[in-house]
Amino acid sequence: MEEIEKELLSEETVISDDDEYNLEYFNNREYINFNNQEWDYDINPNESISQIFQGSETSSLVGASTVWLYFDKNPPSAPGFNVCKRCSFKYKSTTSVTTLRRHLEKHQINVPTKKYTKVVENKNQDPFEKNQQEEHDNCLIQWLICDLQPFIIVENYYFKKFINFFCPRYTIPNRHKVKDLITDSFNIQRNQIKNELCKIVGRFSLTADMWSCSINQESFLSLTLHYINSDWKLCNFLLDIIPFNISHTGINISNEIMRVLQEFNISNRIIALTTDNESAMVVCGREIASSFDNEFSMMTFSHYRCAGHVLNLGVKQGLKLVDAAVIKVRKLSKTIKKSTRINNALKQFCELKKIHHLKPILDIEIRWNSTYYMLKRFVELEPALNLLAADDELIKSLCPINSEWTAIKDTISLLEPLEKATRYLSGISYPTMREVRLVYIGIQSHLKRFEENDNNTQREVAKVISSKIDKNSITSAILDPRNKLEIFTDETNARQHIQTIYKIYKERANSSNASFTDQKQHSPKSARQYFLQLQKETSQTPANEVTPNAESEKTELDYYLAILNDEEADPLLW
């Protein structure tokens, strides 16, 4: 008996913690309790545990577990193995049921034990009425969606046990039912959005982006809608995410965008589309503009290229000139991140130098600012890295030399304003087009200082970046009451752009488009009073005053340009 008891406690026993039995020894130790059933059994001291349970080749008696619904046990084609019916993967016949159950979880098949199933099934007594059940279903799917949970979670034993403990009357739907509930909820929400868009006064602009999932290589096209509500607040929301299984051509992208716009019945109210500078997106913008012109005779649509992406392209081009130093830092970063020993040594040297230990950052090819963050992190760790290089030959061979450290630090100084500009122009809670001109002017002034500094190692980098940055979005900058004409140093150039704005203004004023009339009617009185009060307080001719409109009656644009700039003004108030 002692030998049997030792074997029961041995790590080599075939009995698994997950299997459905409890071994209980009474004083005479004459039976084993399995699933609360008494099995009379005369124990022979010479028998091993495997002989006692020789009715099964796994830890479950005679294939009693529900996993055997998904496995062929010892089939003729693979004797001595258990073969998965889903993927034909083979396990030895001695493999435990727990391992087989974990394999099924990879196929999103949750196989609870019979004891677990009984516990869950016995909980559902006196279920909710239909209305109450639906309320609980709505809460469940809201959690699944917002927390990005997989559908299979609703069939997890511990999840069911948790819900049944707090709400035994609730009948938990299976994953197929959950899928149907989420689909129904999606369709209801989509119809509500269509109705709400019809109530919005004014027009919309779009941003579109396409990306591919690195896991399964599936592509998606996202559409975000931007508009100003009746309270003159800038609003935006995700309009649609479109699975893109066809060729990524500009025509195909434009067709998908037009399909969504037609579904929501807003095709004739789109005034702008912002995308990156990828060639397919450029073609897409041209195709949509042509479609609007042919269908609605609408010449007001504009396709804009993302200013942040323009910066990204310029900086990536410039960084090629310091590629050697960047590659060296990148290799060093990979080496440190892969080695626990080197990581621990770096941490110790950081403590020695009283530096807050931060792990090295590895950059991403499509995000130039990640290269900036990688270089900046290494400069912060420089004292500790020098000690690490003195202690480790591998690190010493990868660590930058003095001239390379100087180049890296100059690169960081060069890129710092561009990193801030990228984050600022990537904002979605405020209009950014009006800021593009000012941001670009500031960046070009910054780059010019680097170009004129003969002692700086990154003069050529600054020249390359400066040549890639376009001078655009002038009109939107002029119509920002905080900027107006201060963005111009040449008066002749300023007047040319003013005349262009007057021309556009007259075309819009004479247009019979109802949406513009509605927008004017909804313009808040406080905004006009605000600017008129500023005009009364102005005792001198503004520095940025332009020739007033030739017409006898001044337009709102004339009043706007005549008033002094106000740094505190809300651009949407006018």
Residue the block writes with tokens 């009073």: 529
- Domain match, 142 and 85 both: no
Single residue among 59, 77, 111 that ends a domain in this structure: 111
Helix (H) or strand (E) holding 244, with range, is strand 234-244
How would you write 7-39 as a 3-class SS string? HHHCCCCCCCCCCCCCCCCCCCCCEEEECCEEE
Tell me what pLDDT residue 475 has: 54
Count of structural domains, the chain: 5
Residue 571 placed within a domain: no
Do the beta carbons of residue 71 and residue 84 sit within 8 Å?
A: yes
Tell me what pLDDT residue 225 has: 93
Q: How far apart are CA 250 and CA 219, in angstroms?
A: 15
Q: How far apart are CA 253 and CA 119, in angstroms?
A: 52
What Å distances lie between residue 519 and 201, 237, 298, 477, CA to CA? 7, 21, 18, 21
- Domain match, 301 and 316 both: no
Q: Which residues of the chain have pLDDT under 50?
A: 1, 4-62, 119, 122, 471-473, 512-552
- Domain match, 409 and 480 both: no
Residue 191 placed within a domain: no
Q: Structure pTM?
A: 0.59
- Domain match, 86 and 218 both: no
Residue 416 placed within a domain: yes
Residue 194 placed within a domain: no
- Domain match, 464 and 479 both: no
Residue 545 placed within a domain: yes
**Pairing of the two strands 204-212 and 270-275:** parallel
User: In the chain, what is the greatest distance between 2 CA atoms, to the nearest angstrom?
Assistant: 117
Single residue among 305, 328, 357 that ends a domain in this structure: 305
Single residue among 279, 305, 331 that ends a domain in this structure: 305
Tell me what pLDDT residue 193 has: 92
Query: Which residue from 139, 168, 143 is spatially nearest to 153, judged by alpha carbons?
Result: 143
DSSP-assigned beta bridge partners for residue 367: 364
Q: How far apart are CA 311 and CA 293, in angstroms?
A: 31
- Domain match, 499 and 550 both: yes
- Domain match, 157 and 127 both: yes
- Domain match, 434 and 343 both: yes
How wide is the angle at C-alpha 450 spanned by C-alphas 310 and 422, nearest 5°? 30
Tell me what pLDDT residue 249 has: 92
Residue 290 placed within a domain: yes
Tell me what pLDDT residue 287 has: 92
Residue 190 placed within a domain: no
Tell me what pLDDT residue 454 has: 75
Query: Which residue from 46, 42, 39, 71 is spatially nearest to 57, judged by alpha carbons?
Result: 71
Tell me what pLDDT residue 73 has: 86
- Tokens representing 337 are 């991140």
- Domain match, 391 and 518 both: no
Tell me what pLDDT residue 192 has: 92
Virtual torsion, Cα 473, 478, 483, 489, nearest 10 deg? 80
- Domain match, 319 and 464 both: yes
What Å distances lie between residue 485 and 365, 425, 473, CA to CA? 38, 21, 13
- Domain match, 435 and 398 both: yes
Residue 572 placed within a domain: no
- Domain match, 63 and 133 both: no
Q: Is 277 strand, coil or helix?
A: coil
Range of the domain at 165: 122-185
% helix, strand, coil for the chain, step of 5? 55, 10, 35
* Relative orientation angle of helices 307-319 and 368-380, to the nearest 10 degrees: 60
